[in-house]
Chains A and B, each alone.
Chain A
Amino acid sequence: MTETPRIALKGVTKRFGAETAVDAISLNIAAGEFCVLVGTSGCGKSTTLRMINRLIEHSDGEIHIDGQPIREIDPQRLRRRIGYAIQSTGLFPHWTVARNIALVPGLLKWPRARTLERVEELMTLLGLAPSEFADKYPAQLSGGQAQRVGVARALAADPEILLMDEPFGALDPITRESLQEELRRLQGRIRKTIVFVTHDMDEALKLADRLVVMRAGRIVQQGSPAELLAAPADEFVASLLGGRDRGLKRAALTPVARLMRPVDARLPMEPAVAPDEDLRLALSVMLWHRVETLAVVDGEGRACGSLHLSDLMGGGI
């Protein structure tokens, strides 16, 4: 492929005094790719992320954005064209939700009307009714709502690149899952280049186009979630991927539609799964109802296929 990657890291190293936090890593991220950096605490994933918008300067190597070395770009200008969302949101407590979202457009001196329109658009996109939330202060929001505002703020000036540092790490499991779901849906529409840091492998598997596993400042393995699950490079990656739980994690990556057979009229409509649900869920439903075949029923309640346990076992996952 001759296309310039959106973000390119070449032999990037970061030293803090005598300690090497990031050790000569190389990584190409294509435009529109959802890249998740995953690893245990202190593996250098956050440092790597923060080097991309120059919150931390790299000690060695080169980072290019659209082919241009970032050292040549004024840091403030660089950051204004890169969205940034963090775990604790960092919303300005003395500004309303609308004003928080309008931060970067304000820095870029967008005309007022355009900013207002964009703020409204983003709030709607992220499920925050403008009439209800625009004039609220961050202290009046729940954790999930505050994180939505954080994401909206990061997207406000329509940046090509979005950096997210464990944005859902502090949320309860239910809110976290629904926000992951929404982020995936959102990414389907906006196709940004996203670099996402997390230590939660389930989150990584769910979101990533490309998974980058880091350990002690180095990249241990990178590839699509399916590739990593199929062939983890070593024990460390395997254990991070859940060890013997890997079978289920892989099943969770495959939609029911992939293994669906034609409609079987003899099957009852209950129990059933939807074609866009994943095989892990299907397996759980089979286990619960003690059946080896399930009807596949679409959102309108029409049967559209059937699913057989033998196909799951036959290497379909």
Chain B
Amino acid sequence: MSAVAIWHRYGRGLAPLLWGAGLVGLLAWLPRAEGFFRWLAPGARVVIYPRDDFTALLLNHLALVGVASGLAILLGVGAALVVTRPWGRDFLPLASQLAAMGQTFPPVAVLALAVPSLGFGALPTVVALVLYGLLPILRNGLAGIEGIDPAVREAARGMGMSPGQVLWRLELPLAAPVMLAGIRTSVTVGIATAAIGSTIGAKTLGDPIIAGIVNGNSAYILQGALLIGVLALTLDSLFEALTPRRR
């Protein structure tokens, strides 16, 4: 088998492993890469971000995104399901409008609004991430369920399926690819957005970037950016591998 054929066959499953290995490699290499970063930022006194261990920052970053995304998925998918039930239909227009509106709202603005009410640190960051991550999930959840051919639902009811059976055997499987795409967008955007949490005192991979900007140290900025980028790619490729293929 040629390399291309191998990639074609196993690529989707292999990509997250490769990116994950890249991330681990990056974590191991960064603290030892003094020479490279000194060449990159010759004017700086310290070239490796010293205040925290990169692994600790990464884990903290992941924990923030994990908690926020988990909540966003629960709320977003839950809300999408509620407003598409016969008894929740009244709220469908409201939910659709909210989902559409949220896309025009920059994440920094959400953070700025969260601080006065919740103070500094991890909590307002999580709140902002949940609010911002909720919307693509809700929007795609609605699109996925509303996108099902009404004739299919009519037939399901006419054949004598219960509402629960319609939900589990019909609506969720048919909406899953679109829903998963929304979750993927939400998580990927969340990884990037969490970095902004560093501006309000949450410990994230944004710390080296903020410190770099403040001190004019481009080596710090690159270290944070590299880790965030590779982390986002790892998770994105993981979703790609998990998404069921449509026939």
Contact = CB atoms under 8 A, between A and B. Distances in A.
Interface of A: 53, 55, 75-80, 84, 86-94, 103-104, 107, 137, 139, 150, 153, 163
Contacts of B158: 53, 55, 79, 84, 86, 90, 163
14 contacts: A55-B154, A55-B158, A76-B161, A79-B158, A80-B159, A84-B155, A88-B149, A88-B151, A89-B151, A90-B151, A90-B153, A92-B156, A104-B159, A104-B160
Contact of A90 (B152, B162, B173, B174): B152
Contacts of A163: 158
B154 A79 contact: no
Contact of A86 (B155, B165, B173, B247): B155
A89 B154 contact: no
Contacts, number: 60
Contacts of B173: 94
A75 B160 CA distance: 7
Query: What's the dominant secondary structure at chain B's contact region?
Result: helix
Given A79-B160, A163-B158, 7 more contacts: A76-B161, A89-B151, A91-B155, A92-B156, A94-B173, A104-B160, A107-B161
A86 B151 contact: yes
B167 to A, nearest CB: 14
B157 A79 contact: yes
Given A76-B162, A104-B160, A92 B151 contact: no
Nearest to A140: B247
Contact of A92 (B152, B157, B247): B152
B63 to A, nearest CB: 35
A79 B156 CA distance: 10
B152 A91 contact: yes
Contacts of B157: 55, 79
B154 to A, nearest CB: 6
Q: Nearest 10 CB-CB pairs, A to B?
A: A90-B155, A79-B160, A80-B160, A88-B151, A84-B158, A90-B151, A76-B160, A90-B152, A94-B173, A104-B159
Contacts of A90: 149, 151-156, 158
Nearest to B163: A76
Given A86-B154, A92-B170, A93-B152, A107 B247 contact: no
B153 to A, nearest CB: 8
A159 to B, nearest CB: 10
B166 to A, nearest CB: 11
A103 B152 CA distance: 13
Nearest to A103: B159
A136 to B, nearest CB: 10
B159 A153 contact: yes
Greatest chain B CB density within 10 A among A86, A94, A104, A163 is at A94
A115 to B, nearest CB: 14
B238 to A, nearest CB: 23
Contacts of B161: 76, 103, 107
Given A107-B165, A139-B247, A78 B160 contact: yes
Contacts of B170: 92
Interface string B142-155: 00000001011111
B240 to A, nearest CB: 20
A86 B149 CA distance: 13
A137 B151 contact: no
Interface string B167-183: 00010011000000000
B174 A94 contact: yes
Contacts of A92: 152, 155-156, 170
Nearest to A138: B152
Interface string B235-247: 0000000000001
Nearest to A74: B160
Contacts of B165: 107
Contacts of A55: 154, 157-158
Contact of B159 (A87, A94, A107, A137): A107
A94 B156 CA distance: 13
Nearest to B161: A107
A75 to B, nearest CB: 8
Given A77-B160, A80-B159, A104-B160, A93 B151 contact: no
Interface in B81-115: none
Nearest to B158: A84
Nearest to B176: A94
Contacts of A94: 173-174
Contacts of B154: 55, 86, 90
Contacts of A93: 149, 152, 174
B165 to A, nearest CB: 7
A84 B159 contact: yes
A90 B151 CA distance: 5
Nearest to A90: B155
Contacts of A84: 155, 158-159
Nearest to B170: A92
Interface string B218-247: 000000000000000000000000000001
